[in-house]
A and B are shown apart, each in its own frame.
Chain A
Amino acid sequence: MTVATTNSPAEAETVTALPPDEIIMRAVGMTKLFPGTVALDHVDFNVYRGKVNVLVGENGAGKSTLMKILAGVYQPTEGQLLLEGQPVTIKNPLDAARQGIGIIYQEMNLFPNLNVMENIFMAREMTNGRLVIDKKAQIAQTEALLQRLRQSIKPDDLVADLRIGQQQIVEIAKALAQDARILIMDEPTSALSTAEVEVLFEVINDLKANGVSVIYISHKLDELLQIGDYVTVLRDGRLVDEKPAGQIDVSWIIEQMVGRNPASLFQGRDHEVGDALLRVEDLTLPRVGGGYTVDHVSFTLRQGEILGIYGLMGAGRSELFECLAGVRQGATGRVWLDGEEVTAGTVDGRIKLGMYLVPEDRQRDGLVQTMSVADNMLLPSLRQYLNRFVLSRKKEKEAVTKSIKNLSVKVANPNQLITSLSGGNQQKVVVAKSLLTSPKVLLLDEPSRGIDVAAKSEIFEIMSRLAGEGYGILFISSELKEILAMSDRILVMSKGQITGEFAKATATEEDLVAASAVGHGLANYKNGNGGNSHDPS
């Protein structure tokens, strides 16, 4: 059922048609396995000398993994790196720095307890005669760097005292100080203001002029086209295509990122939507340091309804789910389930009432890696398998066998370790866990993240079936096509608030994107209908 063209790396033909830009670094056939997932599957990637090489893809497409291999953080399971045409192995980040590869990580790697200068020269201190740090020289160089970045930060400012955007600038200064030939920037602008982005772009152009090759990762698509020279698209750990930025536009990128129209793979089945099942009123979660992570959210979920929740990273969607599941203490507001007001405030209490959260991060929040498939599945519902005080092996086995069959989990033996399963099957185990607690409302946070296409459609199939059986399903997705195909109704969140509500029949991608940008002051997408036009009320 998958479309054939998606897998063929078309890189060879597209590159030859261009003026021959020189390739400084090349990754050939990169494969990286993690327990349970194939993060990269034979990916080729070219870095052109003195250009900005953009890498795009959805979350879980493998961008960060690929970058971490280039930076020596991970070793590839298979594949070869070529630097200036010569095969190289990059043993560790220090080795990468020695070979002229610098990286600015997505998650910041600064020491908040040290000052700006100390951070910039961490592990590469300038010294007087090997032992004593040459503070004067370091300060002079730090000042020069910060001036180049047009920042008013002082070298002896404590990093903890800087704004996030400023910290990002320090991170950039740190990479610049290493005189990298190749500079990897993993979402460098995610925390920057517009003015700071402008400065960053000027610096990047500067670097290019000095022959530095930049690898640039970002989710902000219009930004990519503004700064990029070459665009490489990854999807589900595979290379989709590589093209010069001049030949493409935003819609091409989206198409390549999302690939085949997901709507053709999984279609929300028609099912009866019943009475109100879950009612939420004024749910609010204060943020440490002022403001709200979840800002007075109210909505209703009906029986048999799939209610999609769309939004950007940090819009408060996962936090909303955590409030509903009882994870977040300190949340206020009222919740009714089946007409009864929910008073239990703990995870345990909410599970008993029938609300179960399937978390976004399977590895961190969903599974106990030291336990078997069966033990993981049964963990939330152990009480059901008791004969008096003793767990009955027979009852346990029955439940496991039924769940495995019900969700067609591919597992040779339920007693094998959970980490030996593929990502998609692990996700099914997490869903199975939830179903065994006999929930009424399922809270699925990015249930399709990081799993392959076939598993995705299976998960969606299961969601449709469950909705048909009368479960109420709330589900978060950052993938527009998925959420449009699967949801009966869609809520859009931005900055903790619900900024849009759409019925399945009338929702469009543009509507969702516009509503998700409310309050961000971002550049509006081409159709220009960003703004408050979709406020619910």
Chain B
Amino acid sequence: MTQANPTVVAKRRLTGLDIQEILLRGRAFIALIVLIVVFSLLNSTFLTPANIVIMAKHVAINAILGIGMTFVILTGGIDLSVGSLVGLAAMIAGGLINEGLVLPMFGVIVYFHVWAIILISLLVGALLGAINGLIITRFNVAPFIATLGMLYAARGLALLRSNGNTFPNLVGRPELGNTGFPILGSGEFLSVNYSIWLMIIFAAVAAFVAAKTPFGRQVYAIGGNERAAELSGVRVKRVKTIVYMISGFCAAMVGLIIASQLVAAHPATGTFFELNAIAAVVLGGTSLSGGRGSIGGTIIGAFVIGVLGDGLIGLGVSSFWQQVIKGAVIVLAVIIDQVQVRMQERAALQRQQQAV
């Protein structure tokens, strides 16, 4: 019975703080709506269906990368290698389509079916992610360093694959049975592009995994307090490794989408994409120190970046200014993130003081 009183008091007194907290938490969504309203007022073609489709395709790229990155950042890590993995996955797929797998010891060249090529590329992405994870967990290398190494190494491998050249015209040859790759980038279902469907599927699965499975809960726990998680029986090394595998897998998916959209694989594909992905995650309210954040937030963050970029282009803002604005927005988001942490602490202390 004494229990009820302090909570009632707390509720009444904390309304102001609560509203501030809600506004802060929903900041990415609010920012997105503001952006859309402003751009559609300034630019009449901004909300036309054609423009929306283009924007959504751009968003899908950052969103899928951001989904993998969210898991990594939730554990308190970072994955700088995703941009390079995008390029490498594209080159692997392009190479397998145009040149096949050369096996000199048997004197044969194996051409895989497109489905197998997609699968191989995705597996390579996950495998390189696993290498990231193993270096981080088994050799105690900081995630920043380990994935920075992978950033260079994977980009180098992508360049080596073709000696720096592009694999053009990835349509396959009917006689080899490997046609159909461009459909991934250009195909539509219910007149919505496949890449957008993939974003939706990836987001739904990831949100489900994060919220509803022991794995997701353990990811949050590791980011919140790794030692406490370990003492609670969480297999920290395994979970962390899987998280980097997910990120590598998502990166490979993006590489395939881009190669398919362009019907060509270029080894520089995906350069700096890791930064967009990190930006989407951070804008979505996921804390870089780990433990706090959500997939939904990342999707909104990806939309903010996409809408901001395409909106500024639509207004004819110079691409140099675009970069300045993007940079400012990202830093601002982190500043607000810090404010939110401090406010939550203050609110918790206040509740406690009232309870004493």
Scoring B residues 289 to 332 as 1 if CB is less than 8 Å from chain A, else 0, what string do you get?
Answer: 01110000000000000000000000000000000000000000
* B224/A35 in contact, CB under 8 A: no
Return the contact of B225 from the options A33, A357, A369, A412 (Cβ within 8 A): A369
In this assembly, does B342 line the interface, its C-beta being within 8 Å of a C-beta of chain A?
Answer: no
Let me know if B188 is at the binding interface, CB within 8 A: no
In the complex with contacts A369-B225, A382-B214, A348-B231 CB distance below 8 A: no
Which of B228, B229, B230, B351 has a CB less than 8 Å from the CB of A420?
A: B351
Residues of A within 8 A of B290 (CB): 370
Q: Mark B198-237, 1 if CB is under 8 A from A, else 0.
A: 0000000000000011100110110111011111111100
Tell whether, in the assembled complex, residue A369 and residue B231 are in contact, meaning their CB atoms are under 8 Å apart: no
**Nearest Cβ on chain A to B146's Cβ, whole angstroms:** 22
Distance (whole angstroms) from the CB of B215 to the closest CB of chain A = 9
B230 touches A347 (CB 8 A): yes
A217 to chain B: closest CB distance in Å? Answer: 26
Instruction: State the CA gap A391–B217 with chains docked (Å).
Output: 10
Which of these, B3, B227, B229, B352, contacts A379 with CB under 8 Å?
A: B229
Contact (Cβ within 8 A) A380 B232 = yes
B175 at the A/B interface (Cβ < 8 Å)? no
Interface core residue of B213, B214, B234 (most chain A CB under 10 Å): B214
Which residues 388-433 of A have a CB within 8 angstroms of B?
389-391, 410, 412, 417, 419-420, 422, 433
The reply to whether A417 and B348 contact each other, CB–CB distance below 8 Å, is yes
A165 within 8 A of B: no
Q: Decide if B213 touches A370 in the complex (CB within 8 Å).
A: no
Q: Is the interface of B mostly helix, strand, loop or mixed?
A: helix
The answer on a CB contact under 8 Å between A383 and B224 is no
Partner of B348, one of A371, A378, A419: A419
Closest to A417 in B: B348
Query: In the complex, which residues of chain A have a beta carbon less than 8 angstroms from the beta carbon of B227?
Result: 364-365
CB of A371 within 8 A of CB of B220, answer yes
Check B349 for interface membership: any CB of A closer than 8 A. Answer: yes
Given known A368-B224, A368-B228, A370-B220, contact A422–B355 (CB-CB < 8 A): yes
Q: How far is the CA of A391 from the CA of B229 in the complex (A)?
A: 18
CA distance A420 to B6 in the complex (A): 13
CA–CA, A383 and B227, complex, Å: 20
- Most chain A beta carbons < 10 A, residue from B218, B225, B228: B228
Q: Which of A38, A371, A391, A437 contacts B214 (CB 8 A)?
A: A391
User: Please, which residue of chain A has its CB at the minimum distance from the CB of B209?
Assistant: A389
Q: How far is the CB of B75 from chain A (nearest CB, A)?
A: 12
Question: B residues within 8 A CB of A38?
Answer: 356
Which B residues are CB-close (under 8 A) to A352?
A: 233
Q: Given A370-B223, A370-B291, A77–B231 Cβ distance below 8 Å? A: no
Q: Which residues of B contact A364 (CB under 8 A)?
A: 225, 227-228
CB neighbours of B352 from chain A (8 A) = 33, 35-36, 420, 422
Asked if A366 is at the interface (CB within 8 A of a chain B CB), the reply is: yes
Per-residue B-contact encoding for A373-391, CB less than 8 Å = 1, 0 else = 0010011101100100111
Given contacts A368-B224, A368-B225, contact A437 B217 (CB under 8 A): no
Q: How far is it, in angstroms, between the C-alpha of A359 and the C-alpha of B286 when the chains are bound? A: 29
CA distance A43 to B141 in the complex (A): 46
Of chain B, the residue at the smallest CB distance from A38 is: B356
Residue B7 interfacial (CB < 8 Å): yes
Asked if B228 and A390 sit within 8 Å, CB to CB, the answer is: no
- Determine which of B214, B228, B231 lies in contact with A383 in the assembled complex, contact meaning CB atoms within 8 Å: B214
Any chain B CB within 8 A of the CB of A325? yes
Residues of A within 8 A of B235 (CB): 346, 348
- Docked complex Cα distance between A390 and B228 (Å): 23
How many angstroms from the CA of A325 to the CA of B228 in the assembled complex?
13
Q: Which one of A77, A380, A390, A412 contacts B3 once the chains associate, using CB atoms below 8 Å? A: A412
A411 to B, closest residue via Cβ: B3
Q: Closest Cβ of chain A: how far from B14's Cβ, in Å?
A: 11
Q: How far is the CB of A515 from chain B (nearest CB, A)?
A: 29
Contacting residue for A359 out of B220, B231, B291, CB 8 A: B231
- Nearest CB in chain B to that of A413: its residue: B7
B353 sits at the interface (CB 8 A): yes
Give Cα distance in the complex from A417 to B231, angstroms. 20
A334 vs B353: C-alpha distance when bound (angstroms): 48
A256-290 at interface with B (beta carbon < 8 Å): none
Which one of B3, B231, B353, B355 has the highest number of Cβ atoms from chain A below 10 Å of its Cβ?
B231
Given contacts A383-B214, A391-B217, contact A370 B233 (CB under 8 A): no
The minimal Cβ–Cβ distance linking A351 to chain B, given in whole angstroms, is 4
A residues less than 8 Å from B220 (CB atoms) = 368, 370-371, 375
Given contacts A367-B228, A369-B224, contact A386 B214 (CB under 8 A): yes
A368 to B236, CA, bound (A): 14
Of chain B, the residue at the smallest CB distance from A379 is B232
Inter-chain contact B221/A379, CB cutoff 8 Å: yes
- Flag if A327 contacts B7 (CB, 8 Å): no
Check A348 against B234 for contact (C-beta < 8 Å). Answer: yes
B contact residues around A346 at 8 Å (CB): 235
Closest to B237 in A: A346
How far is B292's CA from A316's CA once the two chains are assembled, in angstroms? 36
Contact of B232 among A77, A410, A433 (CB under 8 A): A433
In the bound assembly, the distance between CA atoms of A327 and B344 in angstroms comes to 32
Contacts A346-B235, A382-B217, A382-B218 hold; do A33 and B291 have CB atoms under 8 A apart? Answer: no
Q: Is the CB of A351 within 8 A of B233?
A: yes
Q: Decide: B3 and A375 in contact? CB cutoff 8 A.
A: no
The listed residue (B217, B230, B348, B355) touching A327 by CB distance below 8 A is B230
- Bound state CA distance, A159 and B36, in angstroms? 59
Using an 8 Å CB-CB cutoff, how does the interface string of A342-369 with B read, 1 for contact, 0 for none? 0000111001100001010000111111
Separation in Å of the B189 CB from the closest CB of chain A?
27
B229 proximity list for chain A (CB < 8 A): 368, 379
**How far in angstroms is the closest Cβ of chain B from A456?**
17
Measured CA separation A16–B214 after assembly (Å): 63
Per CB-CB distance, the 6 closest pairs between chain A and chain B, nearest first, are A370-B224, A370-B291, A368-B224, A382-B214, A380-B232, A351-B233
Instruction: Supply 26 A–B pairs (Cβ within 8 Å), ascending by A.
Output: A33-B349, A77-B349, A77-B353, A327-B231, A348-B233, A348-B234, A352-B233, A357-B231, A364-B228, A365-B228, A366-B228, A368-B220, A370-B225, A370-B290, A370-B291, A370-B292, A371-B220, A379-B232, A382-B214, A389-B213, A390-B212, A391-B217, A412-B3, A419-B348, A422-B355, A433-B232
Q: A365-B227, A412-B3 are in contact. List 4 more A-B contacts (CB 8 A).
A: A33-B352, A369-B225, A371-B221, A420-B348
Binding site for A on B (CB under 8 A): 3, 7, 212-214, 217-218, 220-221, 223-225, 227-235, 290-292, 344-345, 348-349, 351-353, 355-356
